Amino acid sequence: HYFRYDEHVSLCLEKLSSSKDKSKAMLQQKYVRCSVRAQIRHLRRVLCHRLGLPLQHVQILFDSEPLPDHMTMKQLWLSRWFGK
């Protein structure tokens, strides 16, 4: 695979709900960069790991709409951010 040579995307994550519990790690380091081939499920797992939360407690949203697990960052970028 050699993902380390891939192009990158940079993301900025904002927590949706207002509850303050266990969200510190994410709010402290909300800027994320990864391969364009990484999928939503990978990002979810990384976030769960960092936040110490079970997988079903973390969802990735765009415009309040949950993103499918198998969507890649490139698909996300092309469908939602293209040219922005």
Partner 1 sequence: QEEEEQEADNFMFEFSDKPLLPSYNLQVSVSRGPCNWFLFSDVLKRLKLSSRIFQARFPHLEIATLPRAEFQRGGGLSQVLAQEEVPASPEPAGGGAETVELVHYEPELLQLLGGGVEYQAWSS
**48/36 Cα distance (integer angstroms):** 20
- Tell the smallest beta-carbon distance from residue 12 to partner 1 (Å): 8
Q: How many C-alpha atoms does 42 have within 13 Å on its Cβ side?
A: 13
How many angstroms separate the CA atoms of 75 and 56, rounded? Answer: 23
57 binds partner 1 (CB under 8 A): no
Task: Pick from 23, 42, 58, 71 the residue near partner 1 by CB under 8 A.
Answer: 42
Residues that bind partner 1 (CB under 8 A): 1-10, 12, 28-38, 42-43, 45-46, 49-50, 74, 77-78, 83-84
